[in-house]
Amino acid sequence: MGLLTKDEFSMLNVELRVPGNAPSLTSSANGTINERPMTYMAQQALKGEDGVNLEGYLDYRGTKVVGAWVWNEKLGFGLATEMGFDEAYVTVRTSRYIFVFFCLSLVIGFVAAMAITEQRRFRLQSEITTRKLKEQQLRDSIEKNKELMVSLNFQKSALDEHAIVSITDSKGNISYVNDKFCKVSGYSREELMGQNQPIVKSTGQSPSFYQDLWEIISSGKKWHGEIKNRSKDGGDYWIEMSILPFLNEQGEPYQFFTTIC
């Protein structure tokens, strides 16, 4: 870039003025070509100043550009370069978009991670609360069972003192006898456990009697009456017996509780 006098001519002569049809970024661009202002770069170069403009100004075509220039006063010659504003900043804008996208991704990821963490914390807290509740319920149940066992043991002791007791399963096999049962029958507890109830049955009553008794208690009904039993030594004895069936959820007997007076 150099300066031409009135008498000089160059094929590369370009009038570095803001065109009339372009809006000026720095000054008014109205008037004739000689009245229109020089471009920002040309103004600074004519002042003998070096400079860089990255904010953007209009070149001689009216296009927004960025530029840099150097002027050598001794040579009366200068160097200048310009680039379209959009072209110069396309990488910056792309980087800006990438950075914004990256930041948004980080924010979204952080929020999602916090949500997942909070959900897991809530689920863990809920599980801990549920577990504590179940543990408390279990402790309460154990305590109630202890109280129930104490009560049952007391009742059992009272019952064993005043009655002959036996328990059989649904098939009539003996699963429990108290001391009085052993004493009256003459059998030891070891001899009776697992044996069928007819081990103490006397032959003095008809088979139909025992069949009717079995049908009653098998239907889940209580039976009470007198019955003749036989002891281990072969002696017969009459007893007053009550048989109470214990029923399962289907209403079927799973064991029979027998008391003898």
Q: Which domains does the chain have, with CATH numbers?
A: 1-102 (no CATH), 153-260 (3.30.450.20)
Neighbouring residues of 60: CB distance < 8 A, sequence distance ≥ 6:
14, 15, 16, 17, 18, 19, 39
Neighbouring residues of 16: CB distance < 8 A, sequence distance ≥ 6:
38, 39, 41, 42, 59, 60
Q: What is the pTM of this model?
A: 0.43
Mean pLDDT of 34-39: 72
Amino acid 9: pLDDT: 47
Q: d(Cα 224, Cα 245) in Å, to the nearest integer?
A: 12
Amino acid 259: pLDDT: 86
DSSP class of residue 196 equals B
Residue 82 has pLDDT above 90, yes or no: no
Highest mean pLDDT (candidates 38-52, 88-102, 146-160, 215-229):
215-229
Amino acid 4: pLDDT: 52
DSSP class of residue 251 equals S
In this structure, are residues 51 and 82 in contact, taking their beta carbons and an 8 Å threshold? Answer: no
Element (H, E) at 223: strand 223-230
pLDDT band at 39, cuts 50/70/90? Answer: confident
DSSP class of residue 52 equals E
Amino acid 69: pLDDT: 79
| Burial of 3 from C-beta contacts in 10 A (0-12 / 13-18 / 19+) | exposed
Mean pLDDT of 111-134: 87
Residue 30 has pLDDT above 60, yes or no: no
Residue 7 has pLDDT above 70, yes or no: no
Residue 160 has pLDDT above 80, yes or no: no
Higher pLDDT, 108 or 124: 124
Per the prediction, the chain carries an average pLDDT of: 80
Q: d(Cα 215, Cα 166) in Å, to the nearest integer?
A: 19
Question: Six-digit token pair at 4?
Answer: 């031409």
